[in-house]
Amino acid sequence: MRKTVFWAALILTALLPLTASALEVSADCACVMDALTGELIFEKDAQTRHGMASTTKIMTALIALEKCEPDDVVAISANADAQEGSSAYLSAGADVYMKDLLYGLMLNSGNDAAMAAAEHIAGDAESFAEIMTERAKEIGAENTSFKNPSGLSADGHYTTARDLALITREAMKNPTFREIVSSRSARAKTVDNGTTLFFSNHNKLLSSYEGCIGVKTGYTKSTGRCLVSAAERNGMTFIAVTLGDPNDWRDHTAMLDYAFSECTPREIIRKGQCVKKAVIDGKSHSFTADDSFSVNFRNGQKTGYTIENHIVGEMPRAVNKGEKVGYSAVYFGDELIGQVDIISEDDIYETEGMKLKNSFFETVKKIIGRL
Q: List pLDDT tens digits, range 276-318.
A: 887 777 788 889 999 999 999 988 776 688 899 988 766 656 7
Cβ atoms of 218 and 54 within 8 Å: the answer is: yes
- Kindly report the backbone phi and psi dihedral angles of residue 211, in degrees, each rounded to the nearest multiple of 5, phi listed first: 90, 0
- Do the domain assignments include residue 298? yes
Q: Each residue of 33-50: pLDDT tens digit?
A: 999 999 999 999 999 999
Q: How far apart are CA 37 and CA 203, in angstroms?
A: 25
Q: Looking at the 3D structure of the chain, how many domains does it have? A: 2
Q: Each residue of 146-179: pLDDT tens digit?
A: 999 999 999 999 999 999 999 999 999 999 999 9
Last residue of a domain, one of 189, 211, 246: 246
Q: How far apart are CA 333 and CA 11, in angstroms?
A: 10
User: What CATH number should be reported for the domain holding residue 111?
Assistant: 3.40.710.10
- Do the domain assignments include residue 261? no
- Do the domain assignments include residue 251? no
What is the per-residue burial (b if ≥16 Cβ within 10 Å, else e) of 61-75? bbbbbebbeeeeebe
**195 and 85 assigned to the same domain:** yes
**205 and 281 assigned to the same domain:** no
pTM for the model: 0.87
**229 and 322 assigned to the same domain:** no
The per-residue pLDDT for 157 is 98
- Do the domain assignments include residue 184? yes
**210 and 275 assigned to the same domain:** no
**237 and 288 assigned to the same domain:** no
- Do the domain assignments include residue 53? yes
Q: Is 184 exposed, middle or buried (0-12, 13-18, 19+ CB in 10 A)?
A: exposed
C-alpha atoms less than 13 angstroms from C-alpha of 112 in its C-beta half-sphere: 25
**80 and 204 assigned to the same domain:** yes
Q: Indicate if the pLDDT at residue 3 is higher than 90.
A: no
- At 21, the pLDDT band (50, 70, 90 cuts) reads low
The per-residue pLDDT for 315 is 62
- Do the domain assignments include residue 256? no
- At 112, the pLDDT band (50, 70, 90 cuts) reads very high
Catalytic residues: 54, 57, 109
Cβ atoms of 187 and 254 within 8 Å: the answer is: no
Owning domain of residue 303: 9-14+268-370
DSSP 8-state secondary structure symbol assigned to residue 248: H
Residue 324's identity, in one-letter code, is K
> Radius of gyration (Cα) for the chain, nearest Å?
24
Cβ atoms of 364 and 285 within 8 Å: the answer is: no
